[in-house]
Each structure stands twice: as structure tokens, then as C-alpha cells.
Structure 1
Amino acid sequence: MPTRTVRTTLALPADLLAAVDQAVQAGHARSRNELVARALQRELAAQQRAAIDAAFAAMATDPAYQTEARTLTDAFAHADWEALRLAEGSTT
């Protein structure tokens, strides 16, 4: 099913629009719309990755998270070693 599109108007710097047109003429996109949509998708994905990275960075210094991580590590330590032994072919 095709993605629904909505027509909108954007004000862009003249040099940016010229670069978009040049990219389209060079065959990097079929149209201005395609190029701008791809650029926006990439930017939004980058912002989402940055937010996830920030959340992971916060976890690294969060005492409650660190305590929970240690508790889980300790709880599964035996299973982790057992899985490693099985993967290496050891049965003892």
C-alpha cells in the first residue's frame, strides 16, 4: 500500500534548493520531493539514535540501573557459564 502524502510548503535557502536541484539532475533522486523526504527521514532517524544513545549514557551513571544490572548479572551467571560450556562442547 503506498504511503499517504500531504502537500505542504517549505521555505528553503536559495543555495540549498539549488543543491537539491543539482542532486536531482545528477540522478541522486527522482524529484525534489523524494530527496527532501529521504533527508528528513535520515535526520529524524539520527535524532532518534541520539535520544537512545543519551538514554544509554544516562543508564551508565544511574545507581538504580547499575544495581539492577548487577542483580540480573548475578542471577544469570550460572546459566551464562553453562551456556558457554555447552557451546564449547564441555559437559562437565
Structure 2
Amino acid sequence: MERTVRTTLTLPSELLEAADRMVSEGKAKSRNEFVAQALRHELATLQRAEIDAALAEMAQDPDYQAEVLRMEAEFAPASWEALSLGASQV
């Protein structure tokens, strides 16, 4: 079971009203659940953005690009062999 901690939030009234509507429409069990879901969603979005930024930075890194090309060259014979074996079994 997930450990919970009580806290107090100050929200714009329109956000609280919208959250309450979602709860009353059955889209969340409670305000607490709705806020927790929203926080999880936003945190996941931010984490994905961080990963995307790191990957974009790697794509511009000449050392990383050289390493990728080296690995592709090393795996090329095995990839070709696997492709050839797959084609011969069809």
C-alpha cells in the first residue's frame, strides 16, 4: 500500500471547481485521488521531457555519434546473418 502524507494546497477556485465536477461525474473517487492522478501525469510528462532533452543532446554529441557508428559496424555482420537466416526460412 502506498504511504500517504497529509498536506494543504492553495488552488485557484476554478481548478478546484473543475476537479470537484470530475469527482461528481465519477472520473475520480475523490479530490485527493484526482490531485494525485494529476500530479502523477504531470511528473511523468516532465520526466519524458527530460529524457527527450537528453536524447536530443546525445544526438548532437560527436563522441556519441562516433560510438553509435562503431557499434553499428560491429553488429553489421550479425545483423546480415540474422536477415539471411530469416529469409532462407521463408
SS in 2 for 1:28: coil
Residue in 2 that maps onto 1:47: 46
**Aligned AA (1:12):** L
Q: CA deviation at 1:85?
A: 1.1
Residue in 1 that maps onto 2:75: 76
**Percent identity (aligned):** 56
Residue in 1 that maps onto 2:24: 25
Residue in 2 that maps onto 1:7: 6
User: How many pairs are equivalent?
Assistant: 89
Distance (Å, rounded) in 1 between the aligned partners of 2:65 and 2:6 = 48
Distance (Å, rounded) in 1 between the aligned partners of 2:33 and 2:16 = 13
Distance (Å, rounded) in 1 between the aligned partners of 2:49 and 2:86 = 35
Q: CA deviation at 1:37?
A: 0.3
Structure 1 residue ranges without an equivalent (≥5): none
Distance (Å, rounded) in 1 between the aligned partners of 2:43 and 2:87 = 43
Residue in 2 that maps onto 1:37: 36
Residue in 2 that maps onto 1:64: 63
